[in-house]
């Protein structure tokens, strides 16, 4: 009888530990969503005026053109710029090889839609949300900004930038209502884990980005 009770208690403890391990990531994601909720917008008319918009990379096709998600982000920046809500646009993304250049695709997309080249700044080494936020502050001197990305990614982006010294708000572009549920489920699942990594980076390790380099500022 005692052995049976011991096994039941052990099973109960293991179940509790399992539930805790499963719920902790969800709770941390809820926390990041909650503390950034007042700083995230979905309509351009709601976005406060700032000097700079930061647009995060989201992939390019083999021909160098932006993926639909990236095109949506850049289009939102174009609309924000034309509405007079921002004066400059910082495109940050992956240009880790000569055959893969997110920021060039972003620049061309925005320029083709009327944003002058003089108002577009490029960050070729924004290999992650963390690195983009870090470099925005340290390399480009961004102290305040509107961040532009899909709504599912925006809480992490705003949280990360704010804890790296950028007083950020965000404009979220459509995601679940526009892209396939199967794709969004994959992105959302990955985002749960990415939030854990972001919390670890901004609160514990504070790694330097892959590349720093000299200060450039926003011209």
CA atoms within 13 A on the CB side of 101: 10
* Domain encompassing residue 56: 27-205
pLDDT at residue 71, as a whole number: 96
pTM value is 0.88
List the strands of the sheet with 40-41, edge to edge.
40-41, 167-173, 144-150, 52-56, 88-92, 120-123
| Residue 213, in any domain of the structure | no
For position 181, which CATH number holds?
3.40.50.620
Mean pLDDT, contiguous 10-residue spans, the chain (219 residues): 49 40 73 94 95 94 92 97 97 88 95 96 95 97 97 97 97 94 93 92 93 87
Spatial distance between the Cα atoms of 188 and 184, rounded to a whole number of angstroms:
6
| Residue 36, in any domain of the structure | yes
Closest CA to 76 of 38, 48, 39, 113: 113
Number of domain units in the chain: 1
| Residue 64, in any domain of the structure | yes
pLDDT at residue 219, as a whole number: 73
| Residue 160, in any domain of the structure | yes
| Residue 69, in any domain of the structure | yes
Instruction: Look at strands 144-150 and 167-173 and give their pairing.
Output: parallel
| Residue 5, in any domain of the structure | no
pLDDT at residue 19, as a whole number: 39
| Residue 113, in any domain of the structure | yes
pLDDT at residue 11, as a whole number: 54
Contact 132, 123 (CB under 8 A): yes
| Residue 212, in any domain of the structure | no
């Amino acid at each position: 009888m005692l052995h049976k009770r011991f096994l039941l208690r052990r099973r109960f403890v293991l179940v509790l530990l399992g539930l805790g391990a499963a719920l902790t990531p969800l709770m941390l994601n809820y926390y990041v969503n909650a503390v950034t909720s007042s700083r995230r917008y979905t309509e351009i008319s709601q976005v406060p005026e700032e000097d700079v918009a930061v647009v995060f990379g989201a992939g390019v096709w083999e021909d160098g053109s932006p993926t639909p998600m990236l095109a949506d982000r850049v289009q939102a920046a174009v609309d924000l710029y034309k509405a007079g809500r921002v004066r400059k646009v910082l495109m940050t993304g992956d240009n880790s090889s000569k055959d893969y250049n997110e920021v060039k695709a972003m620049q061309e997309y925005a320029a083709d839609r009327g944003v002058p080249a003089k108002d577009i700044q490029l960050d070729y080494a924004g290999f992650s949300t963390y690195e983009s936020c870090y470099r925005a502050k340290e390399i480009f001197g961004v102290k305040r900004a509107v961040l532009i990305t899909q709504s599912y990614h925006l809480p992490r982006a705003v949280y990360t930038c704010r804890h790296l010294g950028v007083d950020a708000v965000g404009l979220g572009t459509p995601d679940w209502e526009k892209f396939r549920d199967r794709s969004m489920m994959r992105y959302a699942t990955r985002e749960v884990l990415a939030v854990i990594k972001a919390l670890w980076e901004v609160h514990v390790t504070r790694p330097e980005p892959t590349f720093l380099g000299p200060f450039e500022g926003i011209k």
